[in-house]
Structure 1
Amino acid sequence: MNFRCPFLVMLVSILFLSEVYCQSYKGVTGISDTSYSTKNAYNHDVKTHPNIKIVSEFHLETVKEKRNVVYCETGKRKLNLDVFYNADKSYSKQTAVIIIHGGGWRTGSRTQHYPMAQKLASLGYVCFTPEYRLSTEALFPAAIFDVKSAIRWVRKNAVAYNFDPNKIAIVGFSAGGEMAAFMGTTANMPLFEGTSCNLDAKSNVNAVVDIDGTLSFVHPDGREGDDSKSTSAGTYWFGYAKAENPKLWEAASPLSYVSAQTPPTLFINSSVPWMHAGREDYIKVLDKNEIYSEVKEFEEAPHSFCLYEPWFSPTIECINNFLTKVFNK
């Protein structure tokens, strides 16, 4: 599928269906959801993987940090990010890496990926960990607008942090992986840019790393949208069940936009097949357009594998090797 061009058809369909069913704001509680955390994920996964170990923050002499930097203000809401960079002045123009956390677009925290940012910074990358508005605060596409704004802020600060503005990679885990792929496939599209911050810069990224993030909300291999036992993360995010507004769910899927403009992409996956729904169809489009991609699957790994050893270190190695290949070829 490739709906990059006929936006009006999709938009009209979404608006029509929106009139049939009222959008639900019941999940916009204004109360933070802390149900997905590294500790909670570990307590669940250690039952089936007793040898796993949480990767804690590193304290590396070469890595400098700036935390809680405001990248956008929307109304009274200040959105923050953190910066991790190598203090070694011998590095020439570096590569920027923006890391998007997971948690079903509703929970989770950017702090979960501080170890990843610190480790990549030690290898010479300039890393950024932005927050974004979750579905307890605002519905889709608010989070998309936020991440696009963060990309634009990062690009505007290339000189300040000594990286090449044409070497910006986005890495995301789970819901963050879906959004990372969405950033890669919807570069500079007015429909998804928002109107708040940093509009004098471009939102395109030059490489994507999707760690166990779905490529499609409507793919038959996926499981997002099952509300039979409780409201699904997707239903909370969109404010519509899948049956109520399937076109919106399709419009939020990276697979709907993958094209000749999509950047090189690395897929790093667990052993949970539905967490990479749409991956093979996505890669077919990349292959057709001669766009480089890689797949790394960790057998028997749980969904939150990148937060633990023994998978954290090889995940970092995969990302480093991929970005080295893409940007230094």
Structure 2
Amino acid sequence: MKTNFGLLIVYCFCFFNGNSLLAQEQKIEVRPYTIQTTYEKLKNDYPFIKPIEALKSGPFISMENLIYTSIEGRDLKADVFIPKDTSEKRPAILLVFGGGWISGSKANVKPLAQHFAANGYVAVTVDYRLSTEAVYPAAVKDLKAAIRWMRDHAEEFHIDSKKIAILGNSAGAQLATLVGVTGNSEIYKDEQNTTSDVVQAILNIDGIVSFTHPESEEGAIAAKWLDGKRRENLKNWEEASPLTHVSETTPPTLFVNSAQPRFHAGRDDMLQILEQHNIYNEVHTLPDTPHSFWLMQPWFYTTLQYCLSFLGRVFNTE
């Protein structure tokens, strides 16, 4: 096994000739999903791009690797970036990294979090359990725990607990949207914690909102996270689809999308429901862009500006 990636073996059993059972191996390479690996993948097709970098300093205070919850001996950690001017409470945003529910890390959203903090928001990035460690709904419950932790520490972090948003990119956008449309849901309820996990805004950066929509593609990576293929575990595929839960209580929602249609699965149906309930929403598609555009310049700043403009309208901070 190479040292730069893991190898996940998924066994699929099939009958042949009616009397023999053979095992076929489907190998999924768990490749590192980082800013640098994304740059290496995209640079030949987009020679003008540059990878984003974390800020060495700025008008914010950094508090890194704080434990926000512990599950079965596993400490899940958060980084918190707080504007230096703490004279008043600030709106907050939880940032969820992507990586197919199987890879990635909070380092990927650190630059974006720092820029949010530099613009007056308390920004939080977190670890959550990937599918190699725990399948659905573990990651959803982790992120809801993070929202509750932010509220429980609102005084310490100078958070306005009535103004909390959640942002995700790629698989992180699917997760962020699911968390956003299931505020205080019985499905993911934590009997040990009565703090609200409701958010007041959703920011979806190129993530699907349905696993079962006609526009969706069934893949082995999603099946790994959802604990079975669609035909084997349809309940999870439907329940984990944010579109299933969209209603009149869904918060204002922003979509920033690439030019790759498969990452828009279910979006237009969700927008239709939002419009029916007069829920504020925005959609922006960046032309001629690949997936993971938010990790590269010049698209990073465009994405940031769309997000800041949306939050400014929703939270009246313009």
Q: What is the correspondence of 1:175-214 to structure 2 with a 5 Å cutoff?
A: 175-195=171-191, 199-214=193-208
Change (3 A) 1:89 1:185: closer
Structure 2: 5+ residue stretches without partners: 1-24
- 3-state SS in 2 of match to 1:321: helix
Residues 227, 233 of structure 2: 8 Å contact kept: no
Question: What is the DSSP-based 3-state SS (H/G/I as helix, E as strand, rest coil) of the residue aligned with 2:123?
Answer: strand
Give the stretch that moved more between structures: 161-170 or 242-251.
Answer: 242-251
Q: Secondary structure at the match of 1:160?
A: helix
Structure 2 residue identity aligned to 1:110: K
Q: Distance in 2 between matches of 1:166 and 1:268?
A: 24
Structure 1 residue matching 2:196: 3-state secondary structure: coil
Match of 2:273 in 1: 285
The Cα of 1:308 is off from its aligned counterpart by 0.7
Q: SS at the partner of 2:115?
A: helix
Correspondence for 1:174 among 166, 170, 174: 170
More strand by share: 2
Whose radius of gyration is greater, 1 or 2?
Answer: 2
Amino acid across the alignment from 1:217: F
Q: How far apart, CA to CA, are the structure 2 residues paired with 1:109 and 1:81?
A: 11
Q: What letter matches 2:41 in structure 1?
A: H
1:103-142 equivalences under 5 Å are 103-142=99-138
Query: What secondary structure, in the 3-state scheme, does the structure 2 residue paired with 1:154 have?
Result: helix
Instruction: Supply the AA of the counterpart residue of 1:36.
Output: Y
Bigger relative contact order, structure 1 or 2, given CA contacts below 8 A and separation 6+? Answer: 1
Q: 2:73 is matched with which residue: 73, 76, 83?
A: 76
Q: 1:202 to 1:69 in 2, by over 3 A?
A: same
Quote the Cα distance in structure 2 between the aligned partners of 1:145 and 1:320.
Answer: 27
Q: Which residue of 1 aligns with 2:153?
A: 157
TM-score by length of 2: 0.88
Deviation at 1:238, TM superposition (A): 1.4
Please report how far the alpha carbon of residue 115 of structure 1 lies from its aligned counterpart in structure 2 after TM superposition.
0.4
Deviation string, structure 1 residues 97-142 (Cα, Å, up to 9, x no partner): 1000000111001101110001110001000001100001001000
Q: Which runs of 5+ in 1 are unaligned?
A: 1-25, 227-231
| Percent pairwise identity | 39
Secondary structure of 1:153's counterpart equals helix
Q: TM-score, normalised by structure 1?
A: 0.85
RMSD across aligned positions (CA): 1.8
Q: Is the counterpart of residue 309 in structure 1 residue 297 in structure 2?
A: yes
Tell me, yes or no, if structure 1 residue 65 matches structure 2 residue 57: no
Amino acid at match of 1:269: N
User: C-alpha distance in 2, partners of 1:259/1:191?
Assistant: 16
